[in-house]
Amino acid sequence: MKLLAIIEDTIREGIARKTIIGFFILSTLFLLIGIIAAISIDTESMFQAQQIPDEQGKMITVEMTKLIQSGIVGTINFFAIIISVFATASIIPHTVEKGAIDLLLSKPVSRLTYLTGKSIGAVLIVLANVAYFVIGMWLILSIKTGSWEPGILVSILTITYSFAVLYTVLLLIGVTSGSTPLSIITVYVYLFLINPIIEAREIIAQATKNDTVKYVLDGLYYILPKPGELRDIAVNVIFSRPIDWEPVFTSLAFGAALFALSAYIFQKKDF
């Protein structure tokens, strides 16, 4: 019950700080753009003008739907994580502020419970907004094309999972420094600089022809989270391709290690 109360409090905090409302407004804006685009494009007339038979037209529509879904997944995966990090980075720093932390520690609740509740609350905020947008886009696309391909719905899980792993970085920085800007910058540096280098590790290794560079990049690849490859899981589901589960487990190991470290520091820290 105590954990649920902290989760609820975190969500209420998100509403009070306009986090959830801002998410909702932005998602709704893009959904409206999607509706306008769907209304503007007349695929049936296009097929009729090109004298494409109905059966062939249905097959083309299915493939076209899958391509559009994969494009949406790639776009929303990037922007959803960027916005989610920005929107939730302040939760832990606000928690450890003088006054707030004193009130928190005066209650008969363990520090681990607080940290767990705050983390789950942040992830649920992101899950709700990602689900709202992805389901909305799926309905718009499916109604427009008549092809109810469900693959894109998997991206709700992959995006939320990617965020949950990256949130452990926000957690660690928030607990140790109490700085929201530093938390955001750290994750953005990883997403915009370090992760692209790791994803291009094979190209870089071939270009440098340096074994040390190769070993270092390979080591970082297996240690650090992989939001790009987690995104590819949803794309592979859309096209019915085999799924590589390694990024799921290695990212989980990274997130679990950082959460455990954050919990240890939070319990030992003298506020």
* Model confidence pLDDT, tens digit, residues 48-101: 544 454 555 566 667 778 888 898 898 888 889 999 998 899 888 888 887 677
What is the rounded average pLDDT for all residues in the chain? Answer: 86
Whether residue 191 is predicted with pLDDT greater than 80 in this model: the reply is: yes
65 neighbors 141 (Cβ within 8 angstroms): yes
How far is residue 230 from each of residues 40, 110, 158, 165, 262, measured CA to CA in Å?
33, 33, 6, 11, 24
Considering the entire predicted model, what is its pTM? 0.90
Whether residue 217 is predicted with pLDDT greater than 60 in this model: the reply is: yes
The rounded distance, in Å, linking the Cα atoms of 245 and 42 is 39
Whether residue 214 is predicted with pLDDT greater than 80 in this model: the reply is: yes
Q: What is the DSSP letter of 191?
A: I
Name the token pair of 38: 């769907």
Instruction: Tell me the percentage of the chain whose pLDDT exceeds 70.
Output: 92
Query: 168 or 143, which is more confident?
Result: 168
The rounded distance, in Å, linking the Cα atoms of 17 and 49 is 52
The rounded distance, in Å, linking the Cα atoms of 247 and 244 is 7
Q: What is the DSSP letter of 149?
A: -
Lowest average pLDDT, out of 95-109, 179-193, 204-218, 251-265, goes to 95-109
The pLDDT score that the predictor gives to residue 94 is 85
String of DSSP letters for 192-232:
IIIHHHHHTHHHHHHHHT-HHHHHHHHHHHHHS--HHHHHH
- The stretch 139-153 carries a mean pLDDT of 87
The pLDDT score that the predictor gives to residue 67 is 87
What is the dihedral angle through the alpha carbons of 99, 105, 109, 111, rounded to the nearest 10 degrees? 100
Residue 126 CB coordination number (10 Å): 26
Whether residue 171 is predicted with pLDDT greater than 60 in this model: the reply is: yes
Whether residue 263 is predicted with pLDDT greater than 50 in this model: the reply is: yes
Whether residue 258 is predicted with pLDDT greater than 70 in this model: the reply is: yes
The pLDDT score that the predictor gives to residue 60 is 65
Mapped onto helix, strand or coil, the DSSP state of residue 241 is coil
The pLDDT score that the predictor gives to residue 204 is 86
Residue holding tokens 């990049």?
217
Q: Which backbone phi and psi does 165 adopt, to 5 degrees?
A: -65, -45
Listed by start position, the domains of the chain span 2-268
Whether residue 20 is predicted with pLDDT greater than 80 in this model: the reply is: no
- From the list 62, 59, 65, the residue with the least C-alpha distance to 137 is 65
The pLDDT score that the predictor gives to residue 3 is 87
The pLDDT score that the predictor gives to residue 123 is 95
Instruction: Tell me the percentage of the chain whose pLDDT exceeds 90.
Output: 46
Name the token pair of 42: 């007349």
Convert the pLDDT of each residue in 103-141 to its tens digit.
777 777 888 998 999 999 999 999 999 999 999 999 998
Residue holding tokens 């720093």?
93
How far is residue 248 from each of residues 17, 174, 238, 241, 259, measured CA to CA in Å?
32, 24, 18, 16, 16
The pLDDT score that the predictor gives to residue 183 is 94
